[in-house]
Structures are given as C-alpha cells and as structure tokens.
Amino acid sequence: MKRPNLWRRLGPGILLAATSIGASHLVLSPQAGALFGYQLLWLVLAAHLFKYPAFEFGPRYAAATGTNLLAGYALVPGPRNWALYIYLGSTVLQGVGVLSGVVNISGCVIATWAGDPKTEIFWTLTTTEVFSLAVLCAVITLLFAGGFSLLDHINKLMMAGLTIATILAFIPAAPGPEALKHFVVPTIPEGSIVLIAAIIGWMPTGIDVSVWHSFWTLEKTGLLEQGTASGTTIDVAHRLKLALADMRVGYVLSLITGIMFVSLGAAHLTEMGSDLKGIQFVQALSTAYTAIFGRWMYHVFMMTAFFAMFSTSYTVIDGFSRAFSETLATLRPALAKRKHVFYKFFVIGSSLCAASTLVLVGNPVTLVLAVSLVSLAVAPLLYALNIYCVRNHIKDPSMRPALATVIIGWMGIAFMIVALGVTVYVKCL
C-alpha cells in the first residue's frame, strides 16, 4: 500500500488547531498578557494538559471503532439518548454565539486593515458588520462548493502562514528568565477569575470539538484510502497511529501559539486590556508586531489575524453543522440519508441568526467571553462521556487509552468544575 506523505496525512489535527487558534488565542490570550503580564502562562499549560485526554479520545474512538463519538453517546446507560439530547442542545445554543463571535472578530480585522472602520454604509451597517457578513457568505460558499477536502487544504495553508508570522513576532517578545517561573507556579491575580474561567472553558477550545474531531478523522481516513493506489483499506492499528499523530501535531501547535500570544500581550499591551474591544482590540494587538519590525509588519499581522479568524470561522460553522446533522441522524436512523440536508439547514439557519447577532452585539470580545463560559458549563459532562466511551466501547484493550491518560482526564474534569464553581460564586457576590 502506498503511504500518504506528511502533508496529506495531516488534517483533523490542524482543523483542531484552527478551531483553537482563533477566539481563545487571538482574543483571550493577548488579553491575559495585557492585563496580568506573564502571570497566567501557567494557565495555558494547565488548560492544554488537563483537557488533552478529551481531545485525544475523539480521534482514538473514531480510529478504533470506525464510528464517531455520537454513536458512543447513544450507548451510554440511562434514559434513552439523554446524552445525545444534551449534546444537541449544547450544539444549538453555542453554535450561533460562537459563530457570531468569531465572524465579528474576522470583520474587525478586515475593517481595520482596510481603514476607515467607523464609516456607515448600506443603510446603518458599519464597515465592520459588512465585512463580517462578507466573511460569513464566503465561508458558506466554500463549504457548499468544496466540502471537507477544500476545508482540509485551505486550513493547512492558512495555519502555515499564521504560524510563520506569529513566530517572527514572538521571538523578540519571548519571556525572559524572570517570567519562566509563571509556567510552573500558579498565580491568580486580583480580578482575573472570570478571564481564567473563560480560558479554561475555551482553551484550546470547547470539549464539544472532540466530537467534531471524530467526524473529521473518519472523513480524513476515507480521503487517505481513496489516495492509495488501489483504494486499500487502512488497517485499524495504522489508522489509530495516524489519527493520534495528527491530533498531537495540532495540539502542540495550539499550545505553542497560546504561549506566544500571551507573551505578545505581556510584552506590548500591558495595562491595555480594558481597551481590547472590537476595532480597538485589533488595533492594539497589531502594535505587538509593528513595534518590533516596523510599519510593514502591520500587514503581516493583519494577514495572520485574518487567517486565524477565517479558518476558525470555517471550522466552527462546519463543526457545529456536522454535529447537528450527525446527532439527528443518530437519534433517528431513518433520517441518516438526509444528513446533508440537515447540515445545510444548520449552516444557513445558524448563519442567519449569527448575522442578526452581529448587528445587535457591538463588542465581540464580550460575546466570546460569554460563550466560553457556556462552553465551560457543559464541558465536564462531555468530558466524562468521552472517558466512558473510550473505556467501554473500544473492544481491543491495546487501543484504549493508558490509565495515566484517564487519570489526567478525571483531574481535568475536577479542574473545570472548580473553575466553574468559583466563577459562579464570584458572579453572584
């Protein structure tokens, strides 16, 4: 069997990175650095460590069983399909909010890059809103025109550009020896609780994306098999190896990029956290690049920011729509042949709702914070469901996760429950 090259093997893991390196990295990470310097570097490491098992279990389950995680949720003991209904409700609730937030930030980036961000055109729409709607239309068009294959190729190119540009800006802003202690010594600065909870909820991204990853893994496996000389089926062990290697590449990329954006915020945006709103957010963040390399780097930053947010918008609308259609098909097997119809329905419906939200909500940073807290609220349950599925539904013991990984998973659940409880307590005071 002809083995696919590295570029072709990568895919779902880079989609995971694209979903991560958007709102959580481009919005929350620089804000953490701007408000609290390097003090929250430990949180980037902790969030990635404690949530790692949840994201590994998506591709592991798909590769080992040949089905997605929703099929596992349907087999969880208790009232019939209760886990699927909860996941469906979470998908609908978060779908509109997340899409609105990332598309709005995409519009902010383009409007700032184009200049004259406050001009009102097309009745009472601002330039930012018009560009946001244009991004939304572009994403819908690309999804309908090219499907997963086009998503796969475009995303890898955008992530390559994003990574190179961010590394160039990060090198001069790398934390010094005095800041390294913040990687291992947890500190909770005054007034940081809500931001910490938001980062835990949405870094690297929401736990529900682990289910999307199981969809993408199955899609990618099909593409790889089509690319072999005879369309040979990839054996299960090799399929698992490819899926986990791909996932880890994307996960490490998310971790490194998160550290870089916190460092950029700490180096260049100190005490500007309260100004990171809408257009002001993009303008402030661009100084992290131009202060080092000069005005020409401004355009590199804008391209980088656009790549980050456009790829996130692309993967978010695809992921939530796949989740919606796959959940309905799992709940009602008779509807499985019409999954593509439900997919398009959710793409269009969530986009229309997101478009309305774009006009009504003026501050995308506030929207991102709110949705990330919703994500944190449902994360412990989804995490526990993932653990149950990989431990009980994968028949071959050699393909189940190691005990240490499962233990870290339960620690991650406790980590998120504590963060959610503290946030609720602070908000209610």
Listed by start position, the domains of the chain span: 6-428
DSSP state at residue 172 = G
pLDDT tens digits for 205-232?
Answer: 888 888 988 888 888 766 445 544 444 4
* C-alpha distances in Å from residue 256, one per residue of 101, 217, 261, 310, 365: 23, 23, 9, 20, 22
CA 234 to chain centre: 28
Q: What is the dihedral of CA 63, 245, 225, 326, to 10 degrees?
A: 40
Closest to 342 (Cα-Cα) out of 354, 326, 318, 319: 326
**121 pLDDT above the threshold of 60:** no
Q: Which residue has the higher pLDDT, 271 or 419?
A: 419
Q: What is the pLDDT of residues 20-43, one digit of tens each?
A: 666 667 777 888 888 898 999 999
Mean pLDDT of 267-289: 65
pLDDT at residue 6 greater than cutoff 70: no
pLDDT at 352 over 70: yes
Report how far residue 330's alpha carbon sits from residue 56's, in angstroms, rounded to the nearest whole number: 22
Q: Specify the 3-state DSSP secondary structure of 34.
A: helix
Beta strands 125-126 and 120-121, pairing class: antiparallel
pLDDT for 56-78, tens place per residue?
999 999 999 989 999 999 999 99
Assigned token pair, 169: 């800006």
* Mean pLDDT, rounded, of the chain: 78
pLDDT digits 0-9 by tens, 397-424: 999 999 999 999 999 999 888 888 877 7
How sure is the predictor about 241, in pLDDT bands with cuts at 50, 70 and 90? Answer: confident
pLDDT of residue 429: 58
Rounded CA gap, 274 and 368, in Å? Answer: 15
* CATH 3.40.640.10, applies to 6-428: no
Residues 338 and 46 sit within 8 Å (Cβ to Cβ): no
Structure tokens at 248: 């880890």
